[in-house]
């Protein structure tokens, strides 16, 4: 088993963190479930953008559920032990869902690029069938990425220190506990996780550059609405990708656990998604209001 050191060993801070993260986890669950129900029940929200948004909400629920419940239990526990099998399972699902979200955010950027830069061909390029193929490819890519990370981790011998200076199991702090030279392994893993984060981020930035250039040439009220949607997307991308690139684009042997950065992409990013996509989207807000009046 491993011992998770958690966020703090001060009892007062642990109670404060428990309250804060419990509220954050509840917001993620309720906010994203509300988005899923709203999109599924309103025929007006049947465009590819909302289909992708619905899948993003589902991924966020899965993603935060990999780390938050365990963290909440550990904050109230004296001994924060986790079995090796549970640690590997957490690592696997964290990278599975996390990489799937990276790919999905990239697909969402491509969807906005197509809608703004090629509006006449949008329905042909982003049909419902194409959307489901892209979503399936995101999940398949996430699984492939995660299985590689997991297989490289489980074959390492662990016989030394068993303390993980974090509140969840992730590749960098876990493989540093291996009783062998991890130079080759860490570069294989960094090239896997780090390059996925970097390439997806560069694709996203490039797509938004094309969108901005297109808007500067022909700016209309419709383009202003699309720009508002893209601004929301950029906020999500920044919160999610920048911390991931900071952690995974460096040698793990020199990795110093920065729990604040981990909190940003495991807690704050899933919390912000439902807020950003509802508060800045009039169609979603109107549909939620109609759903509320129907349920009263």
Instruction: Over range 148-173, report the average pLDDT.
Output: 86
The domain that holds 263 is classified in CATH as 1.20.1070.10
Angle, alpha carbons 251-79-22 (nearest 5°): 80
List, in order, residues 6 or more apart from 52 with CB less than 8 Å away: 104, 107, 108, 111, 131, 135
d(CA 56, CA 62): 10
What global pTM score does this model have? 0.88
- The band of 178, judged by pLDDT with boundaries at 50, 70 and 90, is confident
Average the pLDDT over 179-184 and give the result.
80
- Give the pLDDT confidence score for residue 225 in this predicted structure: 60
Domains in the chain, number: 1
**For residue 218, pLDDT beyond 80:** no
pLDDT higher at 94 or 79: 94
Over the stretch 6-26, which tens digit does the pLDDT of each residue have?
888 788 888 899 999 999 999
pLDDT at 248: 82
Identify the burial level of 220 via C-beta atoms within 10 angstroms of its C-beta, where 0-12 means exposed, 13-18 middle and 19 or more buried.
exposed
Task: Check residue 114 and give its pLDDT.
Answer: 87
Kindly indicate the confidence band of residue 65, based on its pLDDT and cuts at 50, 70 and 90.
very high
Per-residue pLDDT for 221 more than 70?
no
Domain that holds residue 50: 2-295
262 compared with 215, residue with greater pLDDT: 262
Q: What is the pLDDT of residues 86-143, one digit of tens each?
A: 999 999 999 999 999 999 989 988 888 888 888 888 888 888 889 999 999 999 999 9
pLDDT at 253: 60
Q: What's the average model confidence in pLDDT over 178-199?
A: 82
Please report the pLDDT score of residue 280 as a whole number.
Answer: 64
pLDDT at residue 278 greater than cutoff 90 = no
């Amino acid at each position: 088993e491993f011992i998770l050191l958690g966020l703090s060993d001060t009892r007062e801070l642990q109670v404060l963190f428990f309250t804060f993260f419990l509220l954050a986890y509840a917001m993620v669950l309720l906010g994203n479930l509300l988005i899923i129900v709203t999109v599924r029940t309103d025929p007006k929200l049947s465009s590819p953008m909302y289909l992708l948004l619905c899948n993003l909400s589902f991924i966020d629920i899965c993603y935060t559920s990999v780390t938050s419940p365990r963290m909440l239990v550990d904050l109230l526990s004296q001994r924060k032990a986790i079995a090796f099998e549970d640690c590997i399972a957490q690592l696997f699902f964290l990278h599975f869902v996390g990489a799937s979200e990276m790919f999905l955010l990239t697909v969402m950027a491509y969807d906005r690029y197509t809608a703004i830069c090629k509006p006449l061909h949008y329905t042909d390029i982003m049909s419902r069938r194409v959307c489901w193929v892209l979503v399936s490819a995101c999940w398949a890519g996430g699984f492939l990425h995660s299985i590689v990370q997991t297989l490289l981790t489980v074959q390492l011998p662990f016989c030394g220190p068993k303390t993980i200076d974090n509140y969840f199991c992730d590749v960098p702090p876990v493989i540093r506990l291996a009783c062998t030279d991890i130079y080759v392994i860490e570069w294989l893993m960094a090239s896997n996780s780090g390059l996925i984060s970097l390439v997806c981020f560069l694709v996203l930035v490039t797509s938004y550059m094309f969108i901005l250039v297109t808007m500067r040439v022909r700016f209309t009220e419709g383009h202003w609405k699309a720009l508002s949607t893209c601004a929301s997307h950029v906020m999500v991308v920044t919160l999610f990708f920048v911390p991931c690139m900071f952690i995974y684009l460096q040698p793990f042997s020199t990795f110093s656990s920065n729990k604040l950065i981990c909190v940003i992409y495991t807690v704050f990013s899933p919390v912000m998604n439902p807020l950003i996509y509802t508060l800045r989207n009039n169609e979603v807000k109107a549909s939620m209001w109609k759903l509320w009046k129907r349920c009263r």
